[in-house]
Amino acid sequence: MKFPRRRREPVEINLTPLIDVVFLLLIFFMVSTTFETRQALELELPESTSAASVESAPVVLVINAGGGYRLGDTAVAQQDLATALAREAKAARAQGLVIEADGRVAHRRVVTALDQAAAQGITRVRIATRQATDSINQAETP
């Protein structure tokens, strides 16, 4: 006796709903993600617990407690800082720029120096720090 075979429909996986869900998730994450562009430089605080050695002689910009600038051995007025950094820009791009600012100097003086360095294309900027002492750390902790 011959039994008739039942025809089976081929098994298919419908990918359309899966693609729709993945597409909606992609849109959700694209809309909910915020893209942050930083315009400021990351800075170290005036005190550091570890010191890093400098391989070559960088260009040094000193900002004293009174807000005066000194680039290398030359005193520079604030309005002349851009031209002075332009003269040293090639060396500063190659070896870096170290800003040695007094801890009591106004923050805007340091920001002015950082802005002028960025305008000259100097990207390797470091803030000089001093080794933190235990007595200072103990006095500052509550």
Tell me the CATH number at 95. 3.30.420.270
Closest CA to 95 of 48, 54, 66, 45: 54
Would you say residue 140 lies in a domain? no
For 74-98, how does the pLDDT look when each residue is reduced to its tens digit (9 = 90+)? 888 888 888 888 888 888 888 888 8
Closest CA to 128 of 66, 58, 75: 58
Number of other CB atoms surrounding residue 78 within 10 Å? 14
As a whole number, mean pLDDT of residues 37-46 equals 50
Residues sharing a CB contact under 8 Å with residue 31, sequence separation 6 or more, in sequence order: none
- Global pTM reads 0.53
C-beta of residue 116 within 8 angstroms of C-beta of residue 76: no
For 6-30, how does the pLDDT look when each residue is reduced to its tens digit (9 = 90+)? 888 888 888 899 999 999 999 998 8
**Does the structure show a pLDDT above 70 at 135?**
no
Q: Could you give the number of structural domains in the chain?
A: 1
Distance between CA atoms of residues 132 and 53, nearest Å: 16
**Does the structure show a pLDDT above 50 at 44?**
no
As a whole number, mean pLDDT of residues 114-129 equals 85
Would you say residue 2 lies in a domain? no
Distance between CA atoms of residues 83 and 80, nearest Å: 6
Would you say residue 42 lies in a domain? no
**For residue 78, what are the domain limits?**
51-131
Would you say residue 22 lies in a domain? no
Would you say residue 33 lies in a domain? no
Would you say residue 93 lies in a domain? yes
pLDDT at 92: 85
| Type and span of the H or E element at 125 | strand 125-127
Would you say residue 23 lies in a domain? no
Would you say residue 99 lies in a domain? yes
